[in-house]
Structure 1
Amino acid sequence: MTASNRHYGSGDDAAHLRGLLADAPEWDLPPARHLHHRSMLLREIDQEQMAAPTPETPALQRQWLRPALLLPATAIALTGALVLALPGTEQEPGAKAEATEAQQAAAKDVVLTLDRIAAASMQIDVKPVRDDQFVYIRSLVRSNEGTFDGPVRLGAPHRREIWVSQDSAPVTRTGTIRESGKGVPMSGQRIPIENASQQGVPAGIDRPTYQWLAKLPTDTDALRRLLYAQTRPLENESKDQAVFRKIGGLLNETVMPPANAAALYKTVATIPGVSVTPDATDAAGRHGIGITREETGTAARDEWIFDRNSFTLLGSRSYLTHTAGTKPSTLYNSTAIMETGVVDRDDREPADKQKTA
């Protein structure tokens, strides 16, 4: 058989033709790059296989592959777990390890910071407060002066004084408030309790007084059980967030024994999702450390601010996180505690005041 009569395509002929060609040049890729390209190729193949519609579900599969194009922005946050499970979004093992290490470091930072705050609260000299007395707080406040359904417009800091009744018996008014500044009243106004019956509201978790706070357990586990049992979440609010918010209310504009304050701070460290803000500023412009917690169920986030050195409570900030018409983390309220004290009447300032750093 002559060469002109061969049928090209047989095994021998293919080998003969390969022998006539020069060797293909080799690409000098390091092993790591080979593995990278191999991983990318396999991932693309997997995506193509996932994208190929089956007779049973001709369109569903393609819809789930691109959720960001189909869901509104508010729904994307709620389906984060689903998106993470889709092809092409899975983290590499190294990235997962780094994320886990970062989470562990953040959790340790929360515990360490709150332990320091608890230890500092134990050093404060607190005299017992009688039922017939008032806790006095003077602070600077910046609040939203915008319309109810309009954009947030934070006003200038103004002075706020409050006298909180410490009466353990049922009352219909919690005390007296006096604010001075543009758009706020100059004279003192008594603070009625919302939805209070004629018999009034006794001291308790929704109206904390010195005597009630002093009776709370100082054991962290026992205090945590009590707070989780007695705290009522708001609409769309988790129990963890509700307890975090409630502890903030117990610490705000109150006076309590040092052991009870320390126990509350240690309880905060047991709530999942709490984080530390390295730099936070109160309404007076003082910089400190922030303690905060955020979740998707509510549209607001509160942050407590503590002095970097003394770890005393300086004030707080409140943000709108994902409300229509506002940018993420829009500040709508800020406070700075300037003085605290105890008085016998709700029209007097204390002679022995405790100034906040």
Structure 2
Amino acid sequence: MNAATPSPGEAEAAELARLLPESDEDEWQLPPGRHLHYKDVLMHQIDHDTDHAQQAPAAASPRRRLLRPAVLMPAAAAFAAAGILLATLPSGNTDGVRDMGSGDGSTSDAAVTLGRIANASLKADTQRVKASQFVYTRSLVQGNEGELNAEVKLGAPYKQESWMSQDPAPVTNLGMNRESGKGATMPGQDVPIETSVVDGSEDSGAIPEGLERPTYNWLASLPTDPDALLKKLYAETQVIEGEETKAQAVFDKIGDLVSSTVMPPENAAALYKVVAKLPGVTEVPDAVDAAGRHGIGITLDESSWATREVWIFDKKSFEYLGSRGYMTKNHKPGGKPGKGGNPEVLYGSSAILERAVVDQKGMEPEAADKRG
């Protein structure tokens, strides 16, 4: 491969960037859980293609991912993800960026804790959500702002509000986001969350309720028996071939569900019981969300991936607080995970501050209470 020929990883990023809207008005940010998830997907795919190119003289054409039906991802976020992937992990003063997220927890500890979380979930007073309503989430988010080939650099935390449609019918407009604060990409703007299709496709890109667009109605239809639910999730969760195990994909998918949805207590409890059955799940005795709240962490040793996510729960109520994302290896040839032997680097975190059900997109819970 000569200097003028882009690597498969670079081609992948370029292709994704080509499909993204050029206008800032079309850009938006994902809810916290999905933002980290799709960032991970892009990172892992480029990582895989780059490694393959270094090992094989004539690499195959890069595979196309996240094309259709896919939620639109802003160009800024795409290049930030690529920046994390190609980054040299922090050297020198990191201002607290380098952070060990793993503890001395064990698989048995995790099973006990997940059982307690499941029991606490059963006691939740969850409001049933109508198809015409929206799930509202207010979060504090902190992500990487490092440039390409630069160290990971956490940006300022910012508030993110999201309204997700609960319509069971296939839709192209999934909801709306609103950001505010110093680290916000588009502060004060109401930005629609929409789907996209490959140019020339006759498919509208509409997404029905299901695993990729979990509504309250769909979540309520899931089996509450942990074994039956595990079987269903294993059958329906897609994996990145050669990059992750089925258990890793299911863990991440459940993380999306518990972080950004409202569901019946029985279904929430069943999901946590499923997590306890996944191989490699461990407990982190102390983990901190983006709001600085300490809690118990649940994570999965994603040894085949470049990142690892920690879910954080309150130590007394076992309520879900937020998550932290770590890079677990360096992406430069011959590089080491972190200076001084640290194997992980924090690249993002979130904190769920409020979750509610509202009647209209853009309505805040206080306004909804007054109307009721």
- TM-score w.r.t. length of structure 2: 0.65
Query: Alpha carbons of 1:131 and 1:233: their partners in 2 closer, same or farther (altered >3 Å)?
Result: same
Q: What's the counterpart of residue 225 of structure 2? A: 219
Query: Alpha carbons of 1:230 and 1:304: their partners in 2 closer, same or farther (altered >3 Å)?
Result: same
Following TM superposition, by how much is the alpha carbon of 1:193 offset from its aligned partner in structure 2, in angstroms?
A: 2.3
User: Distance in 2 between the 1:222 and 1:123 partners?
Assistant: 22
Q: Say if 2:197 and 2:204, in contact at 8 Å, map to a contact too.
A: no
One-letter amino acid of the structure 1 residue matched with residue 310 of structure 2: E
Q: What are the ranges of 5 or more consecutive residues in structure 2 without an aligned counterpart?
A: 1-50, 52-104
Following TM superposition, by how much is the alpha carbon of 1:133 offset from its aligned partner in structure 2, in angstroms?
A: 0.6
One-letter amino acid of the structure 2 residue matched with residue 341 of structure 1: A
One-letter amino acid of the structure 2 residue matched with residue 184 of structure 1: T
Following TM superposition, by how much is the alpha carbon of 1:194 offset from its aligned partner in structure 2, in angstroms?
A: 4.3
Identity level (%): 52
Q: Say if 1:279 and 1:290, in contact at 8 Å, map to a contact too.
A: yes
Following TM superposition, by how much is the alpha carbon of 1:208 offset from its aligned partner in structure 2, in angstroms?
A: 0.3
* Larger gyration radius, structure 1 or structure 2: 1
User: Distance in 1 between the 2:229 and 2:166 partners?
Assistant: 21
Q: Say if 1:228 and 1:239, in contact at 8 Å, map to a contact too.
A: yes
- 1:175 lines up with 2:171 in the alignment: no
Following TM superposition, by how much is the alpha carbon of 1:184 offset from its aligned partner in structure 2, in angstroms?
A: 1.7
Q: What's the counterpart of residue 269 of structure 2? A: 262
Q: What's the counterpart of residue 295 of structure 2? A: 288
Where relative contact order (Cα < 8 A, 6+ residues apart) is larger, the structure is 2
Cα deviations across residues 122-147 of structure 1 (Å, max 9, x unaligned)?
11101110111100000111111112
Runs of 4+ with deviation above 4 angstroms: none
Cα deviations across residues 264-305 of structure 1 (Å, max 9, x unaligned)?
000000000000000000000000000001222110101100
Q: What's the counterpart of residue 121 of structure 1? A: 121
Query: Alpha carbons of 1:123 and 1:148: their partners in 2 closer, same or farther (altered >3 Å)?
Result: farther
Superposition pairs of residues 268-307 of structure 1, within 5 angstroms: 268-307=275-314
Q: What's the counterpart of residue 145 of structure 1? A: 145
Cα deviations across residues 43-91 of structure 1 (Å, max 9, x unaligned)?
xxxxxxxxxxxxxxxxxxxxxxxxxxxxxxx9xxxxxxxxxxxxxxxxx
User: Distance in 1 between the 2:179 and 2:363 partners?
Assistant: 15
User: Distance in 2 between the 1:312 and 1:174 partners?
Assistant: 26
Q: What's the counterpart of residue 185 of structure 2? A: 184
Q: Say if 1:340 and 1:353, in contact at 8 Å, map to a contact too.
A: no
Q: What's the counterpart of residue 364 of structure 2? A: 349
Q: What's the counterpart of residue 337 of structure 1? A: 352
User: Distance in 2 between the 1:148 and 1:332 partners?
Assistant: 14
Superposition pairs of residues 86-101 of structure 1, within 5 angstroms: none
* SS in structure 1 at match of 2:115: helix
User: Distance in 2 between the 1:219 and 1:194 partners?
Assistant: 35
Q: Say if 1:283 and 1:336, in contact at 8 Å, map to a contact too.
A: yes
User: Distance in 1 between the 2:181 and 2:359 partners?
Assistant: 26
RMSD: 1.9
Q: Say if 2:196 and 2:205, in contact at 8 Å, map to a contact too.
A: no
Cα deviations across residues 148-191 of structure 1 (Å, max 9, x unaligned)?
44221101211110001111100112110011123521211001
- TM-score w.r.t. length of structure 1: 0.67
Query: Alpha carbons of 1:352 and 1:267: their partners in 2 closer, same or farther (altered >3 Å)?
Result: farther
- 1:205 lines up with 2:214 in the alignment: no
One-letter amino acid of the structure 2 residue matched with residue 288 of structure 1: G
Following TM superposition, by how much is the alpha carbon of 1:352 offset from its aligned partner in structure 2, in angstroms?
A: 8.3
One-letter amino acid of the structure 1 residue matched with residue 117 of structure 2: I
User: Distance in 1 between the 2:196 and 2:223 partners?
Assistant: 28
One-letter amino acid of the structure 1 residue matched with residue 125 of structure 2: D
User: Distance in 2 between the 1:149 and 1:206 partners?
Assistant: 32
User: Distance in 2 between the 1:131 and 1:323 partners?
Assistant: 45
